């Protein structure tokens, strides 16, 4: 149960980080895709146990990144219209 809980917290962290990036920093989906895949590849090769995860979790991280960025962009557009 602890493993599931920990993995969900990392996914929430991915979502929140990309929400902030979409809200304040980037507008390019291409950049998000490149950075997301690059980070997941980097995690695969670094020698720390905290970065070792199942492939399915890497996939869910990419989904969380995309959803967070999408929400961040929507928030940005909302405030730009005001």
Q: What is the pLDDT of residues 5-54, one digit of tens each?
A: 556 788 899 999 999 999 999 999 999 999 999 999 998 899 888 778 88
The whole-number pLDDT of residue 4 equals: 57
Spatial separation of the C-alpha atoms in residues 26 and 53, rounded to whole Å: 27
Give the tens place of pLDDT for each residue, 55-65.
888 899 999 99
Higher per-residue pLDDT: 35 or 2? 35
Task: Copy the structure tokens of residue 59.
Answer: 């996939």
The whole-number pLDDT of residue 51 equals: 79
Whether 27 contacts 73, CB under 8 Å:
yes
Task: Copy the structure tokens of residue 82.
Answer: 């005001």
The model's pTM: 0.87
Spatial separation of the C-alpha atoms in residues 24 and 27, rounded to whole Å: 9
Task: Copy the structure tokens of residue 3.
Answer: 């493993």
The whole-number pLDDT of residue 1 equals: 46
Whether 22 contacts 71, CB under 8 Å:
yes
Task: Copy the structure tokens of residue 27.
Answer: 């507008």
């Amino acid at each position: 149960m602890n493993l599931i809980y920990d993995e969900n917290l990392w996914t929430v962290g991915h979502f929140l980080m990309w929400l902030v990036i979409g809200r304040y920093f980037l507008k390019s989906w291409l950049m998000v895709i490149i950075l997301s895949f690059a980070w997941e590849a980097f995690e695969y090769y670094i020698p720390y146990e905290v970065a070792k995860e199942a492939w399915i979790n890497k996939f869910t991280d990419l989904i969380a990144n995309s959803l967070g960025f999408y929400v961040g962009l929507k928030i940005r557009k909302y405030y730009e219209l005001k």
